[in-house]
Structures are given as C-alpha cells and as structure tokens.
Amino acid sequence: MDDNAVAIVTGANSGIGRAVAVHLATKGFRVFGTVRQRASANKLLALAEGAHISIELVEMDVANDESVSRAIGEVLDQTGRIDVLVNNAGIGTNGVVEETPPSRFLEVMNVNLCGAVRCTQAVLPSMRARATGCIVNVTSVVGRFGAMAQAPYVASKWALEGASEELALEVAPFGIRVAIIEPGVTKSAIFAKNVDVPNSSGAYGAQYRRMLQMYATGIPNATDPFEVAEVIHHAIATDQPKLRYTMSWGGDGLVNGRASLSDQDWVAMGAALDDADYYRRFEAAFGLAIAPP
C-alpha cells in the first residue's frame, strides 16, 4: 500500500475496531472510522490524539442500506479511492436454537453478515476499477465450530466465513485480496453487553453454564485488541497473504482442536451429563482448562 492508502474500519468506537483504526493510522493509512454516533467515539479520538495521529469519523449504521451507501459515498467523494475495508462491526448474543426467536437470528444476521455485505458491495466497484484493494472480514473462532448457547452469533459468523471465502474466489481476478480474521477471546465491550442467559424452558441450564464458564476463564486472559490489529495490518501489507488468520486467547486451540475431533466425538462432548466430565473432555480436546476452581 502506498502513502495515500485509504482504510475504512467499521465499528471503530470500541474493542478491535478501535484498535485497528488507531494501529492503521500509525502505519500511515488515512483512516475513516465508522460509528453509529459521533458522541460514542470519545475514547477513539482520545487514543488518536495520544498517538499523534488523525482518524476521520463517519456516521454509519451497517444494518441500513441507505446509511452504508451514503457513508461510503462520502469517503469516496473526499478521497477518490478506498484501498482497505475492515468489516469489524458486529453484535453478540446468547441463546440456544430452540429458545431463540427467528427475529433475533435475523437481527444478528443483519448486522454481522449483511452489514459486511453492504459495505463490501459499496467499495468493490472502485476497487475493481483500480484493480487493487483488500477486504478484511472479522469473524470469530466460533465461525469454525458450533459454540453452544450462542446460536445466532455462531450462525452469523459461520455465514460470514462462507461469504468471505466465496468473495475471495470471486474478486481474485481483479487483484483484490480478502482476509478472514478469526479472534478468540479478545478484550472488548461485546462481552459486557452479552451476558443474557434466556433459558426460558429451563432445559438448557448446563449449556448456558458451560458456555459462561468458558468465558469466565477466557475474559481475564483476553488478548489485547492491538494484537489483533497487528495481525490485520500484516494481512493487508504482506506479500505472502493467507485467507484465514486465527489469534487471541483460545483461538488456535479451539480451531485446531475441533478440526482434530470427529463429529461423533464433538457431539459426544455436548452429551456429557456431568459438568466435571465435560470440562475434562474440553481440556483434552482444546488444551484449555476452563473448570471452575
């Protein structure tokens, strides 16, 4: 990327998005950080000031067609180019399949999947015209396996994984690169907002309990989002790109552990009736000791 490279980072007001916006700006990118409301970006602007860099804010709601079209259009009008799009904006939610209304699935899909699609569609024509560009989609390790009691979130991240892989094939002839970023547990406000355990039927107490216990272990060990930002910058700048990058607490262990398990063994782990047995199996499979002390 040259010195005039322009990057758009969605969901730049917190967590990974904020770190990516700041980190790319320190690397010389002209960064436009999208936020739903400018008032929510005070910490982002303070970090930018402390790093002696500039980040330009753009109000955008990735869940709204008109908002995305307007915001991306504003950036193109100002710069004439978009070199990098980091689709980071997303929401989390808990819920087992039986108890989660289809409307909730659609709400999460509209942000986590369709939001990335909207932004991608808005930047691709100009990237194709210039025969260059990089689209970075932030998914999750749970886009690679079924993390129980998070059904809408898991479904949305699996969907984004599939769309991203297809996109990579489709745009390769135009000189456009796609990178899939799969963080494990990373310091982010998303966890504080995602503590609901609906369990309306009362039948899924063990599933919610085990899911929360994994995060209770992971959150104190959560990876600094600037480490994810460094990986994203590498994915953009390297001359030996990969399609997928896994990082953060639990990342490699979860993805590689699931890949090494047969489907039958994976389902059998979920069938464990005793929590202690489940935690033993989990540690054996993934190398992560999540049992409560």
**Per-residue pLDDT tens for 156-166?**
999 999 999 99
Report pLDDT for 190: 64
Active-site residue flag, 204: no
Report pLDDT for 193: 60
Put simply, whether the predicted model's pTM sits higher than 0.85 gets the answer: yes
With bands split at pLDDT 50, 70 and 90, how would you rate the model's confidence at 197? confident
Catalytic residue among 153, 215, 278, 279: 153
Q: What is the pLDDT of residues 210-260, one digit of tens each?
A: 999 999 999 999 999 999 999 999 999 999 999 999 999 999 999 999 999
Q: What residues pair up with 185 in beta bridges, in sequence order?
A: 249
Mean pLDDT to the nearest integer, 168-188 = 97
Do β-strands 84-87 and 55-59 pair in parallel, antiparallel, or remain unpaired?
unpaired
Q: What is the pLDDT of residues 108-122, one digit of tens each?
A: 999 999 999 999 999
User: Is residue 3 scored above 90 in pLDDT?
Assistant: no
DSSP per-residue letters across 4-17: T-EEEESSTTSHHH
Q: What is the pLDDT of residues 54-64, one digit of tens each?
A: 999 999 999 99
Which residue, 88, 121, 111, 92, is CA-closest to 235? 88
d(CA 122, CA 119): 5
User: Is residue 192 scored above 70 in pLDDT?
Assistant: no
Q: What share of the chain is helix, strand, coil (3-state, %, to 5)?
A: 55, 15, 30
* Secondary structure of 114-159 as H, E, C letters: HHHHHHHHHHHHHHHHHCCEEEEEECCHHHCCCCCCEHHHHHHHHH
With bands split at pLDDT 50, 70 and 90, how would you rate the model's confidence at 191? low
Average per-residue pLDDT for the chain: 95
To the question of domain 6-203+223-257 being in CATH 3.40.50.720, the answer is yes
Q: Which sign does the torsion angle of CA 96, 262, 283, 189 carry?
A: negative
User: Is residue 1 scored above 80 in pLDDT?
Assistant: no
DSSP state at residue 104: H
Strand order in the sheet with 55-59: 55-59, 30-35, 6-9, 84-87, 133-138, 176-183, 244-247
Report pLDDT for 100: 96
d(CA 8, CA 43): 18
Q: What is the pLDDT of residues 28-70, one digit of tens each?
A: 999 999 999 999 899 999 999 999 999 999 999 999 999 999 9
Q: Where are the domains of the chain?
A: 6-203+223-257
d(CA 33, CA 235): 19
